[in-house]
Structure 1
Amino acid sequence: MTAITIREVPDPVLETLKLKAAQAGKSLQAYLLDLVTREAAVPTLAEMMARLDRETRTDVSTSDILAAIDDGRERR
């Protein structure tokens, strides 16, 4: 596993993170590892768009859609 160092963290930010870690019953390192792990699991917008593109492909043409609309109107 690799260690990550974050430099120049403002004191108020560090204090807030320490407080949140303590409230969660975790060390600062464990708390930050959880944050980074959750963030890494969130797909990017580009990944979400690619998935949407893959999962929503269809072979329905405009004429198929118009025919279905006409069919629905005729059934009224």
Structure 2
Amino acid sequence: MPSVQIKNVPEETHRVLRRRAAAAHQSLQEYLRAQLIEQAKQRSLDDVLADAAAQSGGSATFADTVALVRSDRDRR
């Protein structure tokens, strides 16, 4: 399994992370590993936008879309 090493972490950051790990009853390594795994599961905005751009679909013009939104708002 690959390893990651992070150097030059500010003292205060290290202190906060150690405190959070202790509160979670984990070693700092276990805590950070879990945090990294969760972070990697989250889709980035770039991923979402790339997926949206790749999809083909409707052909509504901007003007038609604006008119529909205005019409919907006027009904409220």
TM-score bin, normalised by smaller chain: 0.5 to 0.7
Point out where structure 1 has 5 or more consecutive residues left out of the alignment: 70-76
Match of 1:8 in 2: 8
AA paired with 1:28? L
Paired with 2:48 and 2:31, the residues of 1 have a C-alpha distance of: 27
Paired residues, number: 63
Paired with 2:4 and 2:58, the residues of 1 have a C-alpha distance of: 48
Paired with 2:44 and 2:29, the residues of 1 have a C-alpha distance of: 25
Say what the alpha-carbon RMSD is for the aligned residues.
Answer: 2.1
Superposed CA offset, 1:6-28 (max 9, x none): 11111111111000001011110
The structure whose Rg is larger is 1
Paired with 1:19 and 1:32, the residues of 2 have a C-alpha distance of: 12
Match of 1:34 in 2: 34
Change in CA separation of 1:43 and 1:8 when aligned onto 2, cut-off 3 Å: same
AA paired with 1:18? R
TM-score (norm 1): 0.66
Runs of 4+ in structure 1 deviating by more than 4 angstroms, as ranges, are 59-62
Match of 1:73 in 2: none
AA paired with 2:17? L
TM-score (norm 2): 0.66
Change in CA separation of 1:59 and 1:26 when aligned onto 2, cut-off 3 Å: same
Paired with 2:36 and 2:3, the residues of 1 have a C-alpha distance of: 12
Identity of aligned residues (%): 27
Point out where structure 2 has 5 or more consecutive residues left out of the alignment: 69-76
